[in-house]
């Protein structure tokens, strides 16, 4: 569900990566009815800081990929922030090998891209590695493309979107090189301020992101999950993260789906005695994919 904003307002939206990154494509998909000013950030830490200092109205944050898995550090950044999750968007990720015009696959000696993109393209990259092609990790897919264009690097290619190829005047040498054609990334939309219901009113929301810590005793997590099941709450994601400074203790991040908002609120009240601390990171409308 696309966020409703004031007509005529231009949104500053922070993304991780450069212009043409998949984060920008996700932002334009979610805010499709709005004028956007994209605010590129090199890292996710930079992204959260840009929103915190007011340089961006909201941010698009990759949280998990259907092939490469969860972006673990982003869960911790979200929990530590005072931001609210106001929506989500799923994006089909099509990775392309791109390079300077006229370059062919046999010309390529190096491939550069973000580590997640490299993981998503292992089946394509392995035969190239066996032929001596070097694969290097970079901070972003689109910034790799930009670097190739700025330095006019022959024999060097990037794994990136076709949007990045067009933006930087590069050719697609090999298209759709991701290993799994059901390759999706889920992005969260976050805004400053920790408020359980921020842009989506309670009757319209059907999903929540929450996190909590548990007392360290046998069966504590299973008790919480049993209560959620009793209240007909559908658990769509669970992720554990270590608590820094407390060895072998964890906090748990949950995405939960519900049909009845009041039943969802009762479920949260029912698990309160079983947990140490509950954070409601956001209540929003689930994205389509």
Q: What is the pLDDT of residues 69-127, one digit of tens each?
A: 899 999 999 999 989 999 999 999 999 999 999 999 999 999 999 999 999 999 999 99
Model confidence at 203, in pLDDT bands (50, 70, 90)?
low
* Residue 16 Cα to chain centre, angstroms: 9
Token pair listed for 216: 């360290």
**What percentage of the chain carries pLDDT values higher than 70?**
94
pLDDT at 7 over 70: no
Strands 184-192 and 83-92: antiparallel
pLDDT of residue 1: 39
* Chain segment 22-31, per-residue pLDDT in tens: 999 999 999 9
CA–CA gap between residue 37 and residue 58 (Å, rounded): 11
The per-residue b/e assignment along 62-72, b for 16 or more CB within 10 angstroms, e otherwise, is: bbbbbbbebbe
Token pair listed for 9: 């307002």
Q: Does domain 10-92+183-192 have CATH number 3.40.190.10?
A: yes
pLDDT at 215 over 90: no
- pTM confidence score: 0.89
For CATH 3.40.190.10, list the domain ranges present in the chain: 10-92+183-192, 96-174
Token pair listed for 269: 């009240």
For CATH 3.30.70.260, list the domain ranges present in the chain: 202-284
CA–CA gap between residue 86 and residue 15 (Å, rounded): 16
Question: Which CATH class name applies to 96-174?
Answer: alpha beta
Helices (H), the chain: 22-30, 44-52, 72-80, 115-120, 122-130, 141-151, 162-167, 220-230, 261-271
CA–CA gap between residue 92 and residue 30 (Å, rounded): 13
Total residues found in the chain within this entry: 289
Residue 98's SS3 state is strand
Residue 176's SS3 state is coil
- Fold type of domain 202-284: Alpha-Beta Plaits (3.30.70)
Model confidence at 9, in pLDDT bands (50, 70, 90)?
confident
């Amino acid at each position: 569900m696309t966020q409703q904003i004031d007509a005529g307002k231009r949104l500053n939206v922070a993304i991780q990566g450069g212009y043409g990154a998949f984060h920008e494509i996700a932002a334009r998909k979610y805010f499709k009815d709005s004028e956007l000013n994209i605010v590129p950030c090199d890292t996710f830490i930079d992204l959260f800081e840009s929103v915190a200092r007011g340089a961006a109205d909201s941010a698009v944050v990759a949280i998990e990929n259907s092939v490469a898995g969860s972006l673990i550090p982003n869960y911790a950044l979200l929990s530590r922030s005072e931001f609210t999750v106001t929506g989500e968007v799923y994006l089909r990720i099509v990775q392309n090998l791109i390079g300077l015009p006229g370059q062919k696959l046999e010309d390529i000696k190096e491939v550069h891209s973000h580590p997640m993109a490299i993981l998503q393209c292992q089946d394509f990259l392995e035969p190239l590695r066996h032929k001596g092609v070097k694969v290097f990790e970079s901070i972003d897919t689109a910034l790799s493309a930009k670097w190739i264009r700025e330095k006019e690097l022959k024999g060097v290619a990037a794994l990136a979107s076709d949007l990045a190829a067009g933006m930087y005047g590069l050719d697609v040498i090999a298209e759709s090189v991701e290993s799994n054609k059901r390759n999706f990334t889920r992005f969260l939309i976050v805004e400053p301020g920790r408020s359980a219901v921020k842009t989506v009113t309670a009757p319209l929301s059907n999903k929540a992101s929450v996190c909590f810590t548990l007392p360290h005793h046998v069966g504590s997590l299973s008790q919480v999950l049993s209560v959620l099941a009793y209240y007909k709450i559908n658990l769509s994601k669970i992720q554990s993260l270590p608590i820094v400074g407390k060895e072998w203790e964890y906090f748990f991040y949950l995405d939960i789906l519900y049909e009845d908002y009041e039943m969802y609120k009762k479920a949260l009240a029912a698990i309160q005695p079983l947990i140490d601390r509950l954070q409601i990171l956001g209540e929003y409308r689930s994205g389509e994919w």
